[in-house]
A and B are shown apart, each in its own frame.
Chain A
Amino acid sequence: MKHSNDPISKDMFEIEPATTLDNEIIAKPQLSFAKDAWLRVRKNKAAIVSAVLLLLVIIMAFVGPSLSHFDPYQQDVTKTNLPPRIPGIEKLGILDGSQKIGGVEQNVYEQNNIKEYYWFGTDSLGRDLFSRVWVGTRVSLYIALLAAVIDMLIGVMYGLVSGFRGGKVDNVMQRVLEVISGIPNLIVVILMLLILKPGIISITIAMVITGWVGMARVVRGQVLKLKNQEYILASRTLGAKNNRLLFRHLLPNLSGVIIINTMFTIPSAIFFEAFLSFIGIGLQAPQASLGTLIEDGYKTFQFLPHLMIIPSIVICIILITTNLIGDGLRDAFDPKMRD
Chain B
Amino acid sequence: MAEREKLLEIKNLKQYFNQGTSNEVRAVDDISFDVYRGETLGIVGESGCGKSTTGRTIIGLYDATDGEVLYQGKDVHAKKSKAETKQLHQSMQMIFQDPYASLNPRMKVNEIIAEGIDIHGLATSKKDRMEMVYSLLETVGLNRDHANRYPHEFSGGQRQRIGIARALAVNPEFIIADEPISALDVSIQAQVVNLLKKLQKDKQLTYLFIAHDLSMVKYISDRIGVMYFGKMIELTTADDLYRNPMHPYTQSLLSAIPLPDPNYERTRKRKSYDPKQHNYGPDEEVKLREVAPGHFVHCSEKEFEEYQKSYKN
Spell out A's residues near B (CB within 8 Å).
24-26, 28, 30-33, 229-231, 233-240, 244, 248-249, 252-253, 255, 338
Contact = CB atoms under 8 A, between A and B. Distances in A.
A249 B104 contact: yes
B106 A31 contact: no
Contact of A244 (B106, B119, B142, B152): B119
Interface in B53-98: 56, 59-61, 85-86, 89-90, 92-94, 96-98
Contacts of A31: 150, 153
A240 B60 CA distance: 13
Contacts of B158: 24
A326 B163 CA distance: 35
Given A26-B154, A231-B104, A253-B104, A237 B94 contact: yes
A26 B154 CA distance: 8
Question: Which of B92, B97, B106, B149 gathers the greatest number of chain A CB atoms within 10 Å?
Answer: B106
B238 to A, nearest CB: 27
Contacts of A253: 104-106
Nearest to B178: A230
Contacts of B97: 230
Interface of B: 56, 59-61, 85-86, 89-90, 92-94, 96-98, 101-107, 115-116, 119-120, 141-143, 146, 148-150, 152-154, 158, 163, 166, 170
B23 to A, nearest CB: 18
Contact of A234 (B96, B120, B146, B154): B96
Q: What 3 pairs across the A-B complex have the smallest Cβ distances?
A: A239-B89, A230-B102, A252-B106
A33 B153 contact: no
A229 B115 contact: no
Question: Which of B59, B97, B98, B153 gathers the greatest number of chain A CB atoms within 10 Å?
Answer: B153
B76 to A, nearest CB: 12
19 contacts: A24-B146, A30-B149, A230-B97, A230-B98, A233-B94, A234-B94, A234-B166, A235-B104, A235-B115, A237-B61, A237-B92, A238-B89, A238-B116, A239-B85, A239-B90, A239-B116, A240-B119, A252-B107, A253-B104
Question: Which of B61, B102, B104 gathers the greatest number of chain A CB atoms within 10 Å?
Answer: B104
A253 B104 CA distance: 8
B150 A32 contact: yes
User: Would you call the interface of chain A mostly helix, strand, loop, or mixed?
Assistant: helix
Contacts of B60: 237
Contacts of A237: 59-61, 89, 92-94
B143 A24 contact: yes
A234 B102 CA distance: 7
A228 B98 CA distance: 13
Nearest to B85: A239
A70 B128 CA distance: 64
A234 B148 CA distance: 20
A234 B93 CA distance: 9
B105 A234 contact: no
A231 B86 contact: no
B64 to A, nearest CB: 16
Nearest to B142: A24
Given A30-B153, A230-B102, A238-B170, 18 more contacts: A24-B146, A30-B148, A33-B105, A33-B106, A33-B150, A231-B103, A234-B94, A234-B102, A234-B166, A236-B61, A237-B60, A237-B61, A237-B92, A237-B93, A238-B93, A238-B166, A239-B86, A239-B90
B107 to A, nearest CB: 8
Contacts of B107: 248-249, 252
A99 B235 CA distance: 96
Contacts of B104: 231, 235, 249, 252-253
Nearest to A240: B119
A249 B105 CA distance: 9
